[in-house]
Amino acid sequence: MLYSPAVNMPAAEPKVVVAHREDLWWLLAEACQLEHMIMCQYLFAEWTLKDKSDGLTDEQSARIEGWRGVLRGIGTYDSDVVRGAGETAASLADKLAAHVPAELRSR
């Protein structure tokens, strides 16, 4: 159950129906794109944090290094998710291609 603060009430999460392999492949491709965008945001945030050369104190620099490690960890996790979803989508695409008649396959 989701919560919608705009109307101050619970909102039902929409059901996702996967009726065919093509639907699953499309959903996996969408998930890959979304996770890739999220990963890029975390990695950009990590790379753009200031460091000691920007005039930070030792305490500030140490705290930012901690943040950098957290952001790198999240970005790494997201890259693993993208890889897993991509491998699953590729495997599914191979299975879909096997059902296409030979005369319709691209050469």
- pLDDT tens readout for residues 57-102: 999 999 999 999 999 999 888 888 888 887 887 787 776 666 656 6
Global pTM reads 0.65
**CB-based contact 96:25 (threshold 8 Å):** yes
29-46 pLDDT, tens digit per residue, is 888 888 889 889 999 999
For a pLDDT cut of 70, what percent of the chain falls above it? 78
Q: How is residue 93 written in tokens?
A: 């695409």
